[in-house]
């Protein structure tokens, strides 16, 4: 196998996604809007094919493209989660986009391009690869946020996301330039070698700015301000996409760069992570209490969950990374299931968006009430649902590493967040019934059933996720 064909074999998911996006773009341009539904179906198939290529029997850990790209078990695990998030988001979009009359061929193309950026970001092995993947993902997300052009809230969401995203990208780029200036290389492993026994103030500043840019993508405090407005203003399937796939990519590159590039300055990045993790858990737990809009509530919920996930990274151990990977897999199932439930319920021509719309759902649709209640209880971390084990796997490494106080605060804030999840359950089961919901598309209910199956039965048969996460965590060290 030639060096070029070898490198191409290890970048198959990215090549399939990028090539598919270009082909669908040309197909949409020539067919016009009459073929929009076909392009959406093809986009789902392309993501599915890219997902299947992750299981090809290639070498364990390979660095290619002059050190800019790495193919390893960790990258494949996180790419798998990101691809599942993208594919499911497209499935959830079909009926919604058609009803809102915004089912244009550009939408699946943008999803494909954003997913290409995510896969590049997850496998980035130097600062240049990181920035290219991040920007390809981000530019697509800015357009998706404002895709409903006739909706004022969507336009506002896209503008806010773009302005704040440009600021965060500038901060990240400035941090990367500082690191390059002091380390003399853009490679993650090269930075780690250069920083051995030579930690200057400039390196710390570079690390702070770099993590600030990544914290923005993960919706972590104090770089969370875009999240509630963008989640509320964007079309609901787009919000589901924002809350799932991009989060996988942002967390993946944060884990990779921390463990690979900065193992020698652990005390410095631990302080930063503890700070943003505590603030994110606290804000996510308290700020959601007064929310009445379900999408805004899910925005604050995602902020809190990213804070909980980062508790596992603080120790900097293999068991901590293992816990974060399990947390992200379970978070993906819970988030997609919750948004599938929201898209499953429509009152007339209006989709459910407020907590009051769910009043008395148990008496109108007992099965749907059970599904939503299970999602809420899992997000709250109630055993034996999957959400409980997600938090257990990130708190346990923190305790083992001596961060008892961090784990205790996390548990207490998790108890606080239980209030607003249980409030939704109370509205569903104890309030007077509201108007009945219209029937929904099969794909949406299929996603809801699949997510519920994962969340309900994880404690019975967790082996596939645990084994894959174990292999992925080992490959990062």
* pLDDT exceeds 90 at position 359: no
- 55 exposure class (CB count in 10 Å sphere: 0-12, 13-18, 19+): exposed
**What's residue 58's pLDDT?**
66
Question: In the structure, what pLDDT confidence band is assigned to residue 393 with cuts at 50, 70 and 90?
Answer: very high
Q: What is the pTM of this model?
A: 0.94
Cα–chain center distance at 389? 19
- Whether the CB-CB separation of 167 and 209 falls below 8 Å is answered with no
pLDDT top residue among 142 and 63:
142
- 250 exposure class (CB count in 10 Å sphere: 0-12, 13-18, 19+): buried
**What's residue 149's pLDDT?**
82
**What's residue 14's pLDDT?**
92
- Bridge partner list, 63: 70
Closest CA to 312 of 469, 110, 122, 101: 469
What would the pLDDT profile of 326-349 be if each residue is shown by its tens digit?
Answer: 999 999 999 999 999 888 887 777
What would the pLDDT profile of 282-307 be if each residue is shown by its tens digit?
Answer: 999 999 888 888 999 999 999 999 99
Closest CA to 166 of 126, 138, 205, 140: 138
For residues 260-288, average pLDDT: 91
**What's residue 1's pLDDT?**
54
**How is 198-254 classified by DSSP, letter by letter?**
---HHHHHHHHHHHHHHHHHHT-TTS-TTHHHHHHHS-HHHHHHHHHHHHHHHHHHH
Opening angle at CA 343, ends 342 and 346, nearest 5: 90
> Which of 146-155, 256-265, 407-416, 422-431 is predicted with the least confidence, judged by mean pLDDT?
146-155
What would the pLDDT profile of 458-470 be if each residue is shown by its tens digit?
Answer: 888 898 999 999 9
Question: In the structure, what pLDDT confidence band is assigned to residue 239 with cuts at 50, 70 and 90?
Answer: very high
* pLDDT exceeds 80 at position 199: no
Mean pLDDT of the chain: 88
């Amino acid at each position: 196998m030639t060096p070029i064909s070898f490198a191409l074999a290890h970048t198959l998911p990215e090549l399939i996604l990028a090539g598919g996006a270009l082909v669908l773009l040309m197909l949409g341009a020539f067919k016009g809007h009459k073929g929009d539904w076909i392009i959406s179906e093809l986009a789902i198939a392309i993501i599915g094919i890219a997902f299947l290529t992750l299981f090809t029997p290639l070498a364990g850990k390979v660095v290619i493209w002059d050190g800019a790209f790495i193919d390893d078990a960790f990258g494949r695990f996180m790419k798998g989660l990101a691809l599942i998030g993208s594919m499911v988001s497209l499935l959830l979009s079909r009926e919604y986009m058609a009803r809102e009359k915004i089912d244009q061929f550009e939408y699946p193309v943008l999803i494909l391009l954003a997913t290409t950026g995510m896969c590049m970001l997850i496998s980035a092995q130097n600062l240049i690869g990181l920035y290219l993947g991040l920007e390809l993902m981000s530019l697509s997300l800015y357009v998706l946020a404002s895709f409903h052009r006739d909706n004022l809230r969507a336009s506002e969401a896209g503008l806010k996301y773009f302005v704040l995203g440009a600021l965060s990208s500038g901060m990240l780029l400035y941090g990367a330039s500082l690191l390059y200036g002091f380390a003399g290389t853009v490679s993650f492993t090269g930075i780690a070698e250069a920083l051995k026994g030579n930690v200057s103030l400039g390196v710390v500043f570079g690390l702070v700015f770099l993590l600030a840019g990544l914290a923005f993508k993960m919706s972590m405090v104090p770089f969370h301000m875009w999240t509630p407005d963008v989640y509320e203003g964007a079309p609901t399937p787009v919000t589901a996409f924002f809350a799932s796939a991009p989060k996988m990519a942002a967390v993946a590159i944060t884990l990779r760069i921390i463990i690979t590039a900065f193992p020698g300055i652990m005390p410095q990045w631990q302080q930063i992570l503890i700070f943003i993790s505590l603030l994110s858990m606290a804000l996510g737990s308290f700020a959601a209490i007064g929310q009445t809009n379900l999408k805004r509530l899910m925005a604050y919920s995602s902020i809190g969950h990213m804070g909980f996930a980062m508790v596992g990274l603080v120790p900097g151990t293999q068991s901590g990374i293992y816990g974060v990977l399990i947390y992200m897999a379970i978070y993906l199932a819970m988030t997609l299931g919750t948004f599938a439930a929201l898209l499953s319920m429509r009152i007339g021509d209006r989709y459910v968006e407020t907590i009051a719309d769910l009043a008395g759902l148990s008496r109108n649709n007992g099965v749907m009430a059970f599904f939503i209640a299970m999602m809420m209880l899992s997000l709250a971390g109630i055993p034996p649902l999957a959400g409980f084990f997600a938090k257990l796997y990130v708190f346990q490494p923190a305790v083992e590493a001596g961060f008892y106080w961090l784990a205790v605060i996390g548990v207490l804030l998790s108890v606080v967040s239980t209030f607003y999840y249980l409030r939704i359950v109370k509205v569903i089961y104890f309030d007077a019934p509201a108007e009945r919901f219209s029937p929904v598309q099969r794909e949406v209910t299929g996603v809801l059933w699949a997510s519920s199956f994962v969340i309900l039965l994880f404690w019975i048969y967790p082996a596939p996720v645990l084994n894959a996460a174990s292999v992925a965590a080992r490959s990062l060290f």
